[in-house]
Amino acid sequence: MAASKPEYLINDSKYSFLKELGLQETNLGVFDGTWKGSGKVVQSICPSNGKVIAEVKQGDVSDYESCVQSSTSAWNVWADLPAPKRGEIVRQIGDALRSKLIPLGKLVSIEMGKILPEGIGEVQEYVDICDYAVGLSRTLAGAIYPSERPGHVLLEKWNPLGLIGVISAFNFPIAVYGWNSAVAMVCGDTILWKGAETTPLVSVATTKIVANVLQNNGLPGAVAALCCGGADIGKAMAADKRIKLLSFTGSTHVGQQVGVDVQKRFGKHLLELGGNNAIIVADDADLNMVVQATLFACVGTAGQRCTSTRRLIFHENVYNEVLGRLTQAYKQVVNRIGDALDDSTLIGPLHSKQSLEKYKETVAEIQKQGGKIEFGGKVLERPGYFVEPTIVTGLKHNNPLVHNECFAPIVYVLKAESVPEAISCNNEVPQGLSSSIFTQNIGNIFEWIGPKGSDCGIVNVNIPTSGAEIGGAFGGEKATGGGRESGSDAWKQYMRRSTITINHSKDLPLAQGIKFE
């Protein structure tokens, strides 16, 4: 007997905003200029209640091939546009996103699980990077260098790469695509996006907004193609020579294989992988600021940001006080765990049942190894994937559990005798994404940001590990992958550099004064 069809949340009046975004009960998950889908049908599950929101028909390998061909063809049109004209299209995309800010932010909340202010904030981040990219489109700078040869000019010029692949993760189902696509588009690249398999509705709704802008301007929709799918699509992207740069956000384990596969074909890759982020609290820190900052960094997004704080390294002189105050703060916010769309919620659910099981396994292993649960450690008995944020003490800084990132609201509290010892502890993990120190001592600050300080890509002082601004380059070192997205000079990754020498004389002198006569 066939299983009965679930009642989709999209038909509930509470979720009417879904239809504002052009979503239906069943959606096509491939866009190559037209909407299609030949792969399996997947259900999008709301982590706040475990119910089906709607479903998406994914792409298969033939759909992927169609996307690559269409986007490669679209590049011939897109690359011919002057960069400021491309910037104008990205400006319109930013405005289109603004007009859907609330419904799209709500979709992020119900499909990913982050609370509504964060869901809206994620869409705003895409809007902001569009604004940034518009300015960038008029400032993509080359260079002129002095030539040692008379009658010669030495130039440096940047040109677009071509087709860019973007594989994004569930925890930021729209912002990471925005970072990559807005900047890559003004650089003259076209995009093929594979979002997370568990957040297909965000991918479809976002692509509809972008495609509408492109088509209204008489441009090929495949400038921004989409192929929802599973591991087979990701593997195809990694192996495809036509994809000049592959930006991958996800686990270190998978990202390492992606990097190897791309390197095998001499492609370019941009890897944003795992983090194991620490906050150091010196004995002269403002403890009121520490508790406030640490609380959000540890429990915000239910610990599912790549920049969430996983380790707290307290100076022994303030260890007991900060631990006590932080535990009290946890007790206050635990009563505000709930549905991601509810205004009173501060902590939403974990994203999936798989995430829930990983949390349970990690808590059990902590207890098995003698760790002490100072607070939390429980799964909440209610619909959805809710857990208590958890504080752990009693494990050594070099314990494999402490070195391993569990993508959940679990933080390990460690003790250090000095700031140099704490810095060493910060640096000993394989990952190198984000890090913070709280101190009022100028010497501590410059030690922290100096050559023997934090080895992470993001190094903060008196702010938490999470919450990066778009103007700076985002990314990390070591097992975090080494990639950079968003601001600063991250745009250079989406272009190829040409060193150009022009001889405008009648002679042919050689460099270094070499004579060949």
SS (HEC) of 222-257 = HHEEEECCCHHHHHHHHHCCCEEEEEEECCHHHHHH
* Percent of the residues in the chain that have a pLDDT greater than 70, as a whole number: 99
CA distances from 352 to 64, 197, 302 (A): 26, 12, 12
Give the per-residue pLDDT at 173.
98
Residues in the chain: 517
Give the per-residue pLDDT at 468.
86
Secondary structure element (H or E) that encloses residue 31, with its range = strand 30-31
Give the per-residue pLDDT at 201.
98
Distance in angstroms (rounded) separating the CA atoms of residues 385 and 475: 29
Give the per-residue pLDDT at 63.
98
Question: In which band, very low, low, confident or very high, does the pLDDT at 516 lie, cut at 50, 70 and 90?
Answer: confident
Q: Please say whether the structural domain 31-273+481-497 has been given the CATH code 3.40.605.10.
A: yes
What DSSP assignment string belongs to 337-356?
A: B--TTSTT-SB---S-HHHH
Delimit the domains of the chain by residue range: 31-273+481-497, 277-469
Q: What is the pLDDT of residues 412-445, one digit of tens each?
A: 999 999 999 999 999 999 999 999 999 999 999 9
Beta-carbon contacts of residue 436 (< 8 Å; ≥ 6 apart): 277, 278, 279, 280, 293, 297, 309, 460, 461, 462, 463, 464, 465
Q: What is the pLDDT of residues 159-206, one digit of tens each?
A: 999 999 999 999 999 999 999 999 999 999 999 999 999 999 999 999
Q: What is the pLDDT of residues 279-295, one digit of tens each?
A: 999 999 999 999 999 99
Q: What is the pLDDT of residues 91-128, one digit of tens each?
A: 999 999 999 999 999 999 999 999 999 999 999 999 99
Beta-carbon contacts of residue 30 (< 8 Å; ≥ 6 apart): 36, 37, 38, 58, 59, 63, 66, 67, 226, 227, 228
Tokens 């981040």 label which residue? 125
Secondary structure element (H or E) that encloses residue 448, with its range = helix 442-448
Distance in angstroms (rounded) separating the CA atoms of residues 43 and 199: 9
Q: What is the pLDDT of residues 290-322, one digit of tens each?
A: 999 999 999 999 999 999 999 999 999 999 999
pTM: 0.96
Distance in angstroms (rounded) separating the CA atoms of residues 140 and 335: 49
Neighbours of 20 (CB within 10 A): 14
CA terminus-to-terminus distance, the chain: 89
Neighbours of 139 (CB within 10 A): 11
Nearest to 205 by CA among 7, 11, 12, 20: 20
CA 328 to chain centre: 31
**Token digits for 16?**
């009417």
Angle between helices 200-216 and 83-99 (to 10 degrees): 130
Spatial contact of 347 and 362, defined as CB atoms under 8 Å apart: no
pLDDT at 44 over 50: yes
What average pLDDT does range 24-40 have in this prediction? Answer: 97
SS (HEC) of 451-498 = CCCCCCCEEEECCCCCCCCCCCEECCEECCCCCCEECCCHHHHHEEEE
SS (HEC) of 384-404 = CCCECCEEEECCCCCCHHHHC
CA distances from 87 to 166, 247, 323, 395 (A): 20, 21, 49, 51
**Token digits for 286?**
């403002």
**Rounded mean pLDDT of the chain?**
97
Amino acid at 215: Q
pLDDT at 1 over 70: no
Active centre residues (catalytic): 272, 306
Amino acid at 209: I
DSSP helix/strand/coil, 382:
coil
Specify the CATH architecture of the domain 277-469: 3-Layer(aba) Sandwich (3.40)
* Percent of the residues in the chain that have a pLDDT greater than 90, as a whole number: 97
Taken in order 314, 315, 320, 322, the sign of the CA dihedral is negative
Beta-ladder partners of 268: 245
Give the per-residue pLDDT at 2.
46
Distance in angstroms (rounded) separating the CA atoms of residues 278 and 397: 11
